[in-house]
Amino acid sequence: MEPPPVASTCRRLAVADLLLLRRPTAGAYSLPASSPSPSPATSTSQPRKKPKLSAPNPAPTTAPFAPIPHPVLLAGTLSLPSASCSDACRNHCLSLSDPSSATSVCCYLLDFDPAAIGREILVLSWNYLPSIRQNEEAVLEVVRWRLGELPGPVPGPTFLTPIPLNCVDTEPDLTTRGRVFGVVRSVSVVFSVPHAAQKSKADGDGDLVGFIAEMMCCGCRQCKASQPESEHDHKFEVEKFVYFVDSASRWRPVLARLIARPVSVTGLRKKMVSVGKKGSYTMLVSSAKTRMAWCPSYVGVPPSYELPGKCGGVYSGIVSGIYMQGMLIELDEIAWLLIDDMQLVPPHSLRVGAVISVKKFRLVRLNFAWTTVVLLGTCSKTSITVNSFSLMDSKCHIWAENNSLLGKSVNSLDLSARFWTLLLTSCFKQKFKLGFKKEIWGSRNVSTEARSGSCLCC
Q: CA–CA separation, 423 vs 324, rounded Å?
A: 8
Q: Work out the pLDDT band at 110, boundaries 50, 70, 90.
A: very high
Q: Which of 385, 400, 415 is a domain's end point? A: 400
Question: How high is the pLDDT of residue 307?
Answer: 53
The residue out of 371, 400, 429 marking a domain boundary is 400
Which stretches does DSSP call E strand in 295-411?
Answer: 312-323, 328-331, 335-338, 355-367, 372-377, 383-388
Same domain for 140 and 230, yes or no, is no
446 has a pLDDT exceeding 50:
no
| pLDDT reported for residue 328 | 87
Is 139 a residue whose pLDDT tops 70?
Answer: yes
The Cα–Cα gap between 427 and 424 comes to: 5
Examine the pLDDT at 124 and tell me if it is beyond 70. Answer: yes
Residue 44 falls inside a structural domain: no
Domain hosting residue 130, numbered range: 11-33+60-147
Task: Fill in the amino acid letter for 128.
Answer: Y
Residue 103's CATH number:
2.40.50
Q: Which amino acid is at 353?
A: G
Same domain, 333 and 381: yes
> What distances in angstroms separate CA 22 from CA 26, 53, 130, 217, 396, one per listed residue?
12, 38, 6, 47, 15
The phi and psi torsions of 218 (rounded to 5 degrees) equal -85, 130
- Based on the fold, state whether residues 189 and 235 are members of the same structural domain: yes
pLDDT of residue 3 exceeding 90, the answer is no
Span 235-239, average pLDDT: 86
Output the pTM of the full model.
0.80
- Mean pLDDT lowest among 17-31, 315-329, 373-387, 413-427: 413-427
Higher pLDDT, 453 or 334: 334
Statement to judge: residues 389 and 418 lie in one domain = no
Q: Supply the pLDDT for residue 282.
A: 78
Picking from 262, 294, 326, the residue at the C-terminal end of a domain is: 294
**In this structure, are 102 and 27 located in the same domain?**
yes
Q: Which pLDDT does position 385 carry in this prediction?
A: 93
The model's pLDDT over 285-298, given as tens digits with 9 standing for 90+, comes to 998 889 999 888 77
Number of Cβ within 10 Å of residue 400's Cβ equals 10
Can you give the pLDDT at residue 401? 52
- Percent helix, strand, coil in the chain, to 5, is 15, 35, 50
Tell me whether residue 70 is in a domain: yes
Which carries the bigger pLDDT value, residue 55 or residue 193?
A: 193
Does 168 share its domain with 179? yes
415: pLDDT strictly greater than 70: yes
In terms of domains, do 392 and 407 share one? no
Digit-coded pLDDT (tens) for 146-175: 998 877 676 667 778 888 876 655 555 555
More confident: 379 or 142: 142
Report yes or no on 4 lying in a domain: no
Length of the chain, in residues: 458
Question: Which are the contacts of 350, defined by CB distance < 8 A and separation ≥ 6?
Answer: 319, 322, 326, 329, 356, 384, 386, 397
- Residue 243: CATH number of its domain: 2.40.50.140
d(CA 188, CA 274): 17
> What domain count does the chain have?
4
67 found inside a domain: yes
Same structural domain for residues 143 and 15?
yes
What is the rounded CA–CA span in Å between residue 289 and residue 356? 35
Query: What pLDDT score does 146 carry?
Result: 93
Tell me, yes or no, whether 22 and 129 share the same domain. Answer: yes
